[in-house]
Structure 1
């Protein structure tokens, strides 16, 4: 089990929060809840586990090991636990010494505790904004731990129960727990109870994060923050709010998170109506073009393969993965979540965007405008 290093960790010590000290991998796109204080805005880019891992590897090759790798958004890691565990596994298998952590509301922890324990996490951060369901009901606009819509009253009850269970289960598994609490007006009234419950459940440490309102007069304010700190630190050790440790790599473009060829997967697969543009949905593909490098290093069309016929459910995509087992990426104009998931598990990344085929292929092989194969 990784010990909780509060001196050198960018999560706990502001003096260590230098450039890229902590890297966030944005593979979580689903949320469990939304507070009534959150401003609606588009979520950040979400990528598949292999994409995130590939960009992390590229950074490590050109720089050094980060002080920590985190999955904390743009949604909740435990709302899509398969992708979260996959990402953690990829990092852990290649880098046993990199501290790993996740940030979550607490739902699904109990169901996945065995898998989380295998990841040898540095810690798990739980966001606790309420000690009681009544207060959670005031803070949150909606809470949905599963696929069904729930009343805010029922959702609040489930959230409070899930957070207690999460902290206790994590501690039983030997995983350190940090509690983050944003100091909303309702939260301030219950901050002492939140700290007391966090300590009772077994949490190791806590941060109180001042709420920044659009109207500065509505901010929690220094006086209120100091009072909340005074009340909470009677029950649990406090560390500075984690402001400034979110040093993401550049996931703003597909190119930033591109997979790269390997000895066993040297080729690029492409589906296209006419072979010139990425203009075909993967589900409609009947043929797949295979691009690879010539002896002089330039990428060219090597062959065209028959795609598995539509129908057959998941088996179609399993067959597609087998047919393309020498390809490291599949390019299409669009693709469904299920084929992405199945192909991704097989080691074949799926990238979707609109572009000229030759240009996209050339970029994947490390080129730009130069170096295109002359036919």
Structure 2
């Protein structure tokens, strides 16, 4: 049986009557969401780009088995320095997972979300997964519960997911065409037998689409993850995005393939390359339209702990948790105070944003009747939505685009930390060169501090370092720098012509 694709005018509504085309998780769109949806999204770091600056998440690795094989996946253990899906240091029982969750929530009060995402597929391990959810629903009711799945057995578990008040489900959907799927999935395990090729892909696709429809009908928010594999599904993902939007998905997250040979995946061994930053951004832009795109994903480990972009898992190993004395009732009171403070800060920022709405570029003779090209800028931040990190301490930079339409988040660029006390000179030089390469395409980098050596090398690379906006809100600082570029003539008609010639 072939997949029955919906037409645009057949698209069902998402949860609570919010259509897929109307919903969104960006700052501007949040204010238009129904209260019930906004409540689900506003403190979820994966569903809201703004929330990821303030709120933390964690994953518990209780699901070791998987029912499909992906060419980009290799589930690994004890890889503390490797950050990608499927990697864990400790496999947990449900009892251990509950203890760890409560320990993390008590020590990181801004943690709002607990997800089960592996190292296999949570719904291929239903007993372990749902026992964990049952316990946490009763013992830690202030934590949002999420699950991430390949979708093969999703339809048979939708009722159970809804029963445990799981409001967020992520489905990895890389294709809707079995021809494409056969290049990504060598086999699935279905009805007690291994199925290969297009037949396997066809079953997986049908189950994913059926599960998506059932979740939306239950009012559960669905995020769709897709791995961008150049030459395999890059163009096809535009169709995928259109279809999942029509069927009511809340958010689409197009992620780059991780295919380094050392990870031991089929794609890595066979030399399949990952996408460039430009290719990823172009595809995300092509898929966006009125579909909500997630651009702040960090492709987290299956046991990640902390803010997106950081991993504090080593602080919460089983032996350390056993030594902790956790009063979770008291911790919940502290967490409520912290969450309220963050929410008040975000509300204040939204009011300020609304007051400044429409103020995009300076008025007067400098900007009159001119349309200025967009500019990419990199930002060093350790969280909180402000510029608060030294250039040399960054392990990633957030990239924003400033234009006459305002500021939008583009994505992140991972780098090796430049300033480490015991680095040898050669290692520091290599890390610095790597950071500058990672910032290709950016015209400015905003940080709290920066040394003389990287300052000069950045300027040589055509990237303007800027330390003048330390502790300032990111989007306001980016727009201020953009306005300065316009006012100084760096984006005048002559420079536009030179840029086009280059």
TM range (shorter): 0.5 to 0.7
Q: Contact between 1:22 and 1:245, CA under 8 Å: does it hold in 2?
A: no
Match of 1:92 in 2: 137
Match of 1:181 in 2: 226
After superposition, residues 92-111 of structure 1 pair within 5 angstroms as: 92-111=137-156
Between the aligned partners of 1:33 and 1:237, the Cα distance in structure 2 is 28
Q: Report the secondary structure of 1:218's partner residue.
A: coil
Q: 1:196 to 1:235 in 2, by over 3 A?
A: farther
Q: 1:86 to 1:142 in 2, by over 3 A?
A: same
Residues 1:221 and 2:221 are matched in the alignment:
no
Q: Deviations over 1:7-64 (max 9, x none)?
A: 4321134554469810111111111222223356445332110111012223334443
Match of 2:319 in 1: 255
Q: Deviations over 1:290-317 (max 9, x none)?
A: xxxxxxxxxxxxxxxxxxxxxxxxxxxx
Q: Contact between 1:195 and 1:235, CA under 8 Å: does it hold in 2?
A: no
Q: Contact between 2:228 and 2:257, CA under 8 Å: does it hold in 1?
A: yes
Match of 1:149 in 2: 194
Q: 1:3 to 1:85 in 2, by over 3 A?
A: farther
Between the aligned partners of 2:198 and 2:136, the Cα distance in structure 1 is 39
Q: Please point out which of 248, 254, 257 is paired with 1:211.
A: 257
Residues 1:243 and 2:298 are matched in the alignment:
yes
Match of 1:76 in 2: 121
Between the aligned partners of 1:164 and 1:213, the Cα distance in structure 2 is 27
Between the aligned partners of 1:100 and 1:201, the Cα distance in structure 2 is 23
* Structure-1-length-normalised TM-score: 0.62
Task: State the 1:211 CA deviation.
Answer: 1.8
Between the aligned partners of 2:251 and 2:132, the Cα distance in structure 1 is 26
CA RMSD in angstroms, aligned pairs only = 3.0
Q: 1:259 to 1:20 in 2, by over 3 A?
A: farther
Task: State the 1:122 CA deviation.
Answer: 2.8
Residues 1:231 and 2:231 are matched in the alignment:
no
Q: Report the secondary structure of 2:195's partner residue.
A: coil
Q: Contact between 1:29 and 1:46, CA under 8 Å: does it hold in 2?
A: yes
Between the aligned partners of 1:74 and 1:53, the Cα distance in structure 2 is 17
Between the aligned partners of 2:55 and 2:297, the Cα distance in structure 1 is 14
Between the aligned partners of 2:192 and 2:53, the Cα distance in structure 1 is 39
Residues 1:3 and 2:27 are matched in the alignment:
no
Segment of structure 1 superposing worse, 196-205 or 7-16: 7-16
Q: 5+ residue gaps in structure 2?
A: 1-14, 16-35, 78-86, 262-270, 306-312, 326-502
Q: 1:251 to 1:160 in 2, by over 3 A?
A: farther
Q: How many residues align?
A: 262
Q: Report the secondary structure of 1:139's partner residue.
A: coil
After superposition, residues 33-44 of structure 1 pair within 5 angstroms as: 33-39=68-74, 41-42=76-77, 44=88
* Structure-2-length-normalised TM-score: 0.47
Task: State the 1:244 CA deviation.
Answer: 6.6
Q: Deviations over 1:165-191 (max 9, x none)?
A: 110011111111010111012120201
Q: 1:137 to 1:251 in 2, by over 3 A?
A: farther
Q: 5+ residue gaps in structure 1?
A: 262-375
Between the aligned partners of 2:324 and 2:56, the Cα distance in structure 1 is 25
After superposition, residues 319-334 of structure 1 pair within 5 angstroms as: none
Q: 1:32 to 1:19 in 2, by over 3 A?
A: farther
Task: State the 1:234 CA deviation.
Answer: 2.8
Residues 1:57 and 2:102 are matched in the alignment:
yes
Between the aligned partners of 2:285 and 2:107, the Cα distance in structure 1 is 44
Task: State the 1:139 CA deviation.
Answer: 1.2
